[in-house]
Amino acid sequence: MIDLNLIKQNPEIFKKTCQQKRITNFDIEQTLALDQERRILIQQIENIKQQKNAASKKIPTLNGDEKQKVLAEMQTIGKNQKELEDKLAQIEKTMNYQLLRCPNPCSDKTPEGKDDKENKELYKWGELPKFNFAIKDHVQLGKDLDIIDMERGVKIAGSRFYFLKGDGARLEMAILLYTLDKLVKKGFTPFIVPLLVGYEAMMGTSYFPGGEEQAYALGVDRKTDGHIESDGKYLIGTSEVSVTSYHRDEILEEGDLPKLYCGYSPCFRREAGTYGKDTHGLYRIHQFQKVEQVIICKNDDEESEKMHQMILKNAEEVLQDLKLPYHVVAVCTGDMGQGQFYKNDIETWMPSRNSYGETHSCSTFHEFQARRLNLKYRDKDGKVKFCHTLNNTCIASPRILIPILEIYQNQDGSVTIPEVLRSYMGKKEKIEKKL
């Protein structure tokens, strides 16, 4: 959530940010008008309180009709106060809802653009593979090697679901465990997180309001022993939600920062509005697994930049260890989320697409999420400030299986297992078709 004082001081900046991020559901003028009305109501309520205090001191000195007259006046004033307080509560509720939709301004480094086609490539790593045989895509490889079953996934759960089996399941677990081990060696604390969270966690990490249609909700009322129950829970789309919310409503100590956390979790997204887009194979599916880096650090722009580069490089190192070619892009204004101050995507080469495909995202939020989560720290001078937060996908599967299977495929139909993963797969070197 944005500090209202910043909006009042610099409304044009936030109007520009709404245009840049294509946010149409935040009305700055309405918010400022509500704030003006709120301040008038607060003053009116304070005036009534002063009248009541003065009257309470005066009443004991009065008798007869004069006393009854003042008591009647106080009763009327009390009713007016209740009406004003109810009106104030409604205005503050509307204002808070508006402020939850206010976007975070972008970094000066963020390129202008309408969508992901206008993201700016910053650099590349690795040589693109060359094949002297007709290649298969990951779906065909998975079917031939009996490690991916899309048809039965759809039969059991519907479109965009799948089974990984045999060495396909082992390969995914190997990638996730390798990434976790790598981060632990770098000082990260691993988490296995709640997959179901309340509205406050989704709101605090800025997925709600506005992203409800992308989340699977378990809020359907049902009868149990004659009573109506409602779960009111949401399946997370990333462990960022649970891990960033871990210290909600807490005051940390500056000496304990930064917090280096990594969360493993299955993730769930409805992908509403993307029907017909990237529907082939494992690229855009409803259920996947991730290891997510989450950083909580002090409120300092240089510190945030340092942390951003660190977690971005951690993800790059995993791809380099896997020897997968990739490039890093600066995400443009129109492709950024509401709360992101700066964002990089890593896109890995996928031969069947003949292009790079997004596999990682790295985001800096400054204090945007911390304000919503009431996440603070006490600095060395004793002053309490909001933290800065960042996150980055260190690995996400099964999407990462696309470049691994396609780049490591062999002419005989087998797939070579990346060297760094072999110890996690019983020292196996290849995935081969069973005879």
Mean pLDDT of 301-313: 98
Which stretch of 73-82, 246-255, 370-379 has the lowest confidence by average pLDDT?
A: 73-82
Q: Is 422 part of the annotated catalytic residue set?
A: no
Asked about 367 being catalytic, the answer comes back as: no
Range with lowest mean pLDDT among 53-62, 88-97, 386-395: 53-62
pLDDT of residue 370: 98
Burial class (CB in 10 A: 0-12, 13-18, 19+), 322: buried
- In three-state secondary structure terms, 345 is strand
- Whether omega for the bond prior to residue 209 falls within 30 degrees of 0, making it cis, is yes
**Helix, strand, coil share (%) of the chain residues, nearest 5:** 45, 25, 35
Q: Is this structure's pTM higher than 0.85?
A: yes
358, 363, 371, 397: which is the annotated catalytic residue?
358
CA 361 vs CA 145, 304, 328: distances in Å: 30, 16, 10
Decide if domain 4-99 falls under CATH 1.10.10.10: no
pLDDT attached to residue 223: 57
Q: Are strands 388-397 and 430-431 parallel, antiparallel or unpaired?
A: unpaired
Among 111-115, 201-205, 210-214, 273-277, whose mean pLDDT is lowest? 273-277
Helix (H) / strand (E) element for 9: namely helix 4-9
Catalytic site residue from 101, 160, 269, 372: 269
Respond yes or no: is residue 239 known to be catalytic. Answer: no
The residues, any chain, with a CB within 8 Å of residue 185's CB and separated by 6 or more, are none
Selected residue with higher pLDDT from 167 and 223: 167
Predicted confidence (pLDDT) at residue 150 exceeds the cutoff of 90: yes
Say yes or no: do domains 4-99 and 116-431 share a fold: no
Instruction: Identify the CA nearest to 351 among candidates 128, 139, 149.
Output: 128
pLDDT at 59: 76
Q: Can you tell me the distance from the alpha carbon of 366 to that of 369, in angstroms, rounded to the nearest whole number?
A: 8
pLDDT given for residue 306 in this prediction:
98
Q: Give the pLDDT confidence score for residue 258 in this predicted structure.
A: 98
Residue 26 has pLDDT above 60, yes or no: yes
Provide mean pLDDT across the span 398-425. Answer: 98
Confidence tier at 51 by pLDDT (50, 70, 90): confident
The domains of the chain are located at 4-99, 116-431
* Angle 292-297-300 from CA coordinates, rounded to 5°: 130
Lowest mean pLDDT among 304-313, 348-357, 367-376, 426-435: 426-435
Q: What per-residue confidence (pLDDT) applies to 227? A: 57
Report whether the peptide linkage leading into residue 129 is cis, meaning its omega lies within 30 degrees of zero: no
The fraction of the chain above a pLDDT of 90, given in percent, is 84
C-alpha angle 247-253-254 in degrees, rounded to nearest 5: 115
Predicted pLDDT of residue 222: 57
Which residue out of 239, 352, 361, 397 is catalytically annotated? Answer: 361
- State the fold for domain 116-431: BirA Bifunctional Protein; domain 2 (3.30.930)
- Average pLDDT for 208-226: 77
Cβ–Cβ < 8 Å for 218, 234: yes
What pLDDT, on a 0 to 100 scale, did the predictor assign at position 262? 98
DSSP character string of 372-421:
HHT-EEE-TTS-EEEPEEEEEEEEEETTTHHHHHHHSB-TTS-EEPPGGG
DSSP string, 77-117: HHHHHHHHHHHHHHHHHHHHHHHTTPPPPPPTTSPP-SSGG
* Contact call for residues 281 and 137 (beta carbons, < 8 A): yes
228 pLDDT band (50/70/90 cuts)?
low
User: Is 269 among the catalytic positions?
Assistant: yes
Rg of the chain on CA atoms, in Å = 27
**Model confidence at 221: pLDDT above 70:** no
Output the DSSP codes for 251-268.
Answer: EEEGGGPPEEEEEEEEEE
Tokens representing 119 are 């993201």
- Residues 170-196 pLDDT 10s: 999 999 999 999 999 999 999 999 999
Question: What's the rounded mean pLDDT across residues 297-324?
Answer: 98
Share of the chain above pLDDT 70, in %: 96
Parallel, antiparallel or unpaired: strands 355-366 and 342-350 = antiparallel
Residue indicated by tokens 């007016």 = 80
Preceding omega of 403 cis (within 30 degrees of 0): no
The yes-or-no answer on residue 372 being catalytic is no
What average pLDDT does the segment 377-386 reach? 97
pLDDT, the chain, mean: 93
pLDDT number for residue 434: 82
- 422 or 433, greater pLDDT: 422
Helix (H, G, I), strand (E, B) or coil at 172: helix
Q: Which of 101, 160, 170, 284 is catalytic?
A: 284
Catalytic residue (one of 172, 347, 399, 406):
399
Residue 220 confidence class, pLDDT cut points 50, 70, 90: low
pLDDT of residue 225: 59
Q: Which residue is it, tokens 């004033």?
A: 77
**pLDDT tops 80 at residue 288:** yes
